[in-house]
């Protein structure tokens, strides 16, 4: 029992030391927080005083009064310097000298060393802003006082630990260190063996350390029994982990391949539709040009033979005028289709960032898609506010709108004749716009609403659907355009996809750009 009492005294003294250390630490933190609160209070008071005292002197252009006001505030040790700047070359600054004994004027380009800067607008009679007061602050004295307090606490702890060390050395050596040394030597001998069963220690006494040794041996027996099982389980777990990583890599590669295939398929469909639509104006242009050439040849032959009548020449002029109008109108129609397709196709493949008007770009997207929607007699109406200028990624916007329109055509109308799609865009704040695509198709069942953006979810898998169209839309809006998308639908009443995105898209990181 004597040994137990000695050990209790030891732990009691250690507890006292810990309590003193914790108390000192709490006191230090409390003082530090109080100093910081005082600093912030004086900082706020300084701001209030300067806001009241500076406007009069600056308005009256009384530099002497202004300097006296600044010198009075430099009495706070945390204030390093104060500068006043404003219109008409106003630049007055006061700071302490190197020895902190005197005050001096600051050079116009001088920037004092500080760790805190306070900007105070100088407003005269709550109406006219005369300039700005910049206060340079430093916490050096506050930190010095905190360091001194911490040093005092450390000295107290060291003195107390010294006294405890002197008083308790004998008891530690007799009741703790000697038994621990024997236990350490036994552990070193056991640790040098590769066999877990060799970790058992020899029990050399019936005291508390003997009981610890006995408990240790019981633990060793259990560890020896579990070690083989755990080794086998870890090997199997590593194998399963490797298999899972391999499967994940294959899945990611497959998904990326499908996404790229979906993009190329969309672009290919766009190319085929535009090519088919261009055939008509180009064919008319070629036929009309050929007819004009034949008519010109005939009038030239008559002219060479001297048999040109006024009626022949008038008929030629009428034919030439009609042919020119047909050539110009059809050439302009083909040029518009090619321009819209070119702009949309280049944006989808390059994914470069640029400024663009949303209304004009929506019309270009719809123009490039007209060949596909023309066959289904689906009408598309655009209602966009004027002057919606975006600094974003037009390729991403094109792909989002294209996928939503094609999704409405394929799923909303089942590519049947008729149907109306409305595109509405408006500014919902100074920095955000709201873009909605609404159709009057058959709608989305309630059980599918929460799954439409999931990858590989489609209701037309047997008809060629990949289930990636809306998933690509969701990822582009969230990751590339920095916005959100919501869907509202009722069976038989159509669907509405609402996109909210910033006018200035976030920057793409290098990793996203590579992907």
Strands (E), 419-474: 420-427, 432-439
Residue 391's H or E segment, with its range, is strand 389-392
Strand positions, DSSP E, 6-142 = 79-86, 91-96, 103-105, 116-124, 128-137
CB-CB neighbours of 441 under 10 Å: 25
Residue 429 contacts residue 478 (beta carbons within 8 Å): no
Selection from 176-180, 262-266, 433-437 with the highest mean pLDDT? 433-437
pLDDT value at position 514? Answer: 43
Average pLDDT value over all residues in the chain:
77
510 pLDDT tier (thresholds 50, 70, 90) = very low
CA 429/CA 500 separation, integer angstroms? 10
CB 424 within 8 A of CB 499: no
Pairing relationship of beta strands 389-392 and 420-427 according to DSSP bridges:
unpaired
Indicate if the pLDDT at residue 169 is higher than 90. no
State percent of the chain over pLDDT 90. Answer: 9
Q: What is the DSSP letter of 463?
A: G
pLDDT for res 272: 58
More confident of the two residues 325 and 435: 435
* Range name among 84-93, 399-408, 412-421 with the lowest pLDDT average: 412-421
Looking at residue 357, its pLDDT comes to: 92
Q: Please name every residue paired with 170 in a beta bridge, in sequence order, or none if there are none.
A: none
Look at the pTM and tell me if it is higher than 0.75. no
pLDDT at 320: 85
Angle at 263 between CA 258 and CA 266, to 5 degrees: 120
Cα separation, 51 vs 120, in Å, equals 7
Among 110-119, 228-237, 476-485, which range has the highest average pLDDT? Answer: 476-485
**476, containing H or E segment:** none
């Amino acid at each position: 029992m004597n040994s137990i009492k000695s050990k209790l005294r030891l732990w009691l003294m250690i507890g006292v030391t810990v309590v003193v250390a914790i108390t000192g630490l709490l006191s230090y933190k409390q003082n530090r927080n109080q100093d910081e609160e005082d600093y912030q209070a004086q900082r706020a008071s300084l701001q209030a005083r300067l806001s009241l005292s500076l406007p009069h002197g600056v308005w009256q252009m009384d530099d002497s009064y202004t300097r006296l006001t600044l010198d009075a505030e430099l009495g706070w040790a945390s204030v390093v310097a104060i500068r006043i700047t404003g219109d008409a070359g106003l630049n007055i600054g006061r700071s302490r000298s190197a020895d902190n004994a005197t005050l001096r004027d600051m050079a116009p380009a001088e920037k004092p060393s500080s760790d805190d800067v306070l900007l105070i607008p100088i407003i005269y009679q709550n109406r006219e802003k005369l300039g700005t007061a910049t206060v340079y602050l430093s916490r050096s004295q506050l930190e010095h006082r905190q360091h001194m307090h911490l040093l005092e606490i450390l000295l107290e702890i060291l003195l107390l630990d010294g006294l405890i060390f002197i008083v308790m050395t004998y008891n530690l050596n007799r009741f703790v260190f000697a038994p621990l040394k024997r236990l350490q030597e036994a552990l070193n001998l056991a640790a040098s063996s590769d066999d877990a069963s060799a970790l058992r220690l020899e029990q050399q006494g019936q005291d508390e350390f003997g009981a610890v040794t006995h408990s240790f041996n019981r633990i060793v027996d259990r560890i020896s029994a579990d070690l083989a099982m755990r080794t086998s389980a870890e090997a199997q777990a590593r194998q399963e982990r490797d298999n899972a990583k391999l499967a994940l890599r294959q899945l990611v590669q497959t998904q990326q391949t499908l996404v790229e295939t979906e993009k190329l398929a969309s672009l290919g469909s766009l190319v085929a539709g535009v090519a088919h639509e261009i055939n008509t104006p180009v064919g008319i242009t070629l036929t009309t040009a050929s007819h004009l050439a034949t008519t010109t040849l005939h009038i030239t032959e008559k002219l060479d033979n001297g048999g040109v009548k006024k009626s022949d020449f008038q008929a030629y002029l009428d034919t030439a005028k009609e042919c020119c109008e047909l050539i110009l109108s059809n050439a302009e129609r083909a040029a518009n289709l090619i321009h819209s397709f070119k702009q949309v196709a280049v944006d989808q493949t390059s994914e470069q960032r640029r400024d663009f008007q949303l209304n004009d770009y929506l019309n270009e997207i719809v123009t490039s898609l007209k060949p596909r929607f023309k066959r289904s007699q689906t009408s598309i109406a655009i209602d966009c506010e004027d002057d919606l200028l975006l600094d974003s990624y037009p390729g991403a916007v094109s792909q989002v709108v294209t996928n939503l329109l094609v999704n409405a055509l394929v799923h909303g109308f089942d590519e049947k004749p008729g149907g109306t799609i409305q595109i509405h865009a408006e500014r919902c704040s100074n920095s955000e716009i709201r873009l909605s695509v609404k159709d009057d198709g058959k709608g989305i069942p309630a059980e599918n609403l929460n799954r439409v953006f999931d990858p590989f979810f489609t209701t037309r898998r047997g008809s060629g659907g990949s289930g990636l169209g809306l998933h690509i839309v969701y990822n582009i809006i969230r990751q590339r355009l920095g916005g959100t998308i919501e869907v509202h639908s009722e069976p038989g009443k159509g669907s509405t996809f609402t996109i909210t995105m910033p006018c200035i898209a976030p920057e793409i990181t290098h990793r996203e750009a590579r992907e």
